[in-house]
Amino acid sequence: MRVLIALGGNAMIGPDGSATQQAQQAAVELAMKRVADLVAQGIEVVLTHGNGPQVGNLLVKNELAADVVPPVSLDWCGAQTQGTIGFLILNALEQALAERGLRRRVATVVTRTLVDAADPAFEQPTKPVGRFLPEAEAARHRASGQHWQNLGDKGWRRVVASPQPIEIVDAPAARALMDAGFIVVAAGGGGVPVVRDSSSGMLRGVEAVIDKDLAAAILARTLAADILVIATDVDQVVTGYGTPAATPIGKISADALAELAAAGEFAAGSMGPKVTAAVRFVRGGGRLAVITSLDRITDAVTGGYGTVVRAD
């Protein structure tokens, strides 16, 4: 059985939200123990991960060093985090496996994800990134072409395009490594976004971020995974979230979950894309998708714990 696990970017920072190098390393080491537990059950695992807090740090660096070193675009920030988080996962997962008597090799592939240059997201950026700034500073960035949103008391925050992933360009490399026995880390941060030049056919990076769960759903199908596990902060998806009627969802059909989503049950920036990814994976032919917390991924895969989405 092959399982693709999508780890939240928040699972790779400290419990207090700290994204220092030490906090990231400690969090990844903890996460990889849970992944190794799953491998120890004889499950074939592929990994992908988010990178929100990490890209946030890189954007601050871009901004504060801009007078000396030219800032780099969001696709480069994504590529940078594939390097660092991929590196942490290599060390931590190999160690967690060794502690369980498993001598498996892990490999991280720099991964591009194709998006459509005509995706409406480029006209209507909606994904908040980086830190909050006062209006005057936001205005300076807006003057240079960036989109910033007034979020009231907290200040202004940059919003960027989050286009739909179409294809995981480097999935064949991930598959070749998987076939050779490696546990593969791919499409980190949803993949580095690229568009195809219509005349030359060349792929080029584009200023955008890709939802890592939506990318994971495509990668899971491309690699013929049986199960997509979306590991997040909560054990189950909840309807009526934050109300007295809050109810966790156990087993549910893709259609029923899609209906709840259409009724506005899930927040756009948080549970919404996870639900969409689960629905897409199952509707595309995946056996089942599970949304649960990192600590429960083995229970989810072997015992049906969490919010389990099936075709019917």
Say how far apart CA 138 and CA 151 lie, in whole Å: 12
Q: Which is nearer to a second copy, 94 or 213 (CB)?
A: 94
* DSSP letters spanning 293-304: EGGGHHHHHHH-
Q: Which is nearer to a second copy, 35 or 301 (CB)?
A: 35
- Give the residue ranges of DSSP H helices in 133-170: 135-143
Give contact residues for a second copy (rule: CB under 8 A). Answer: 20-21, 57, 60-65, 68-70, 72-73, 75-76, 78-84, 86-87, 90-91, 94-95, 98, 105, 107-110, 112, 131, 170, 172-173, 176-177, 179-180, 182, 185, 192, 194, 200-205
- Smallest gap from residue 284 Cβ to a second copy (A): 24
DSSP class of residue 165? Answer: P
Q: Which residues pair with 148 in a beta bridge?
A: 158
Catalytic residues: 9-10, 127, 212, 274
- Cα distances from 212 to residues 54, 153, 208, in angstroms, run 14, 29, 12
Cβ neighbours of residue 143 under 8 Å, at least 6 residues apart? none
Task: Give the residue among 107, 117, 203, 201 at the shortest CA–CA distance from 161.
Answer: 117
Q: Which is nearer to a second copy, 58 or 277 (CB)?
A: 58
To the nearest 10 degrees (0 to 180), the angle between helices 171-179 and 212-222 is 50
Task: Give the residue among 226, 269, 298, 239 at the shortest CA–CA distance from 41.
Answer: 298
Q: Which is nearer to a second copy, 207 or 235 (CB)?
A: 207
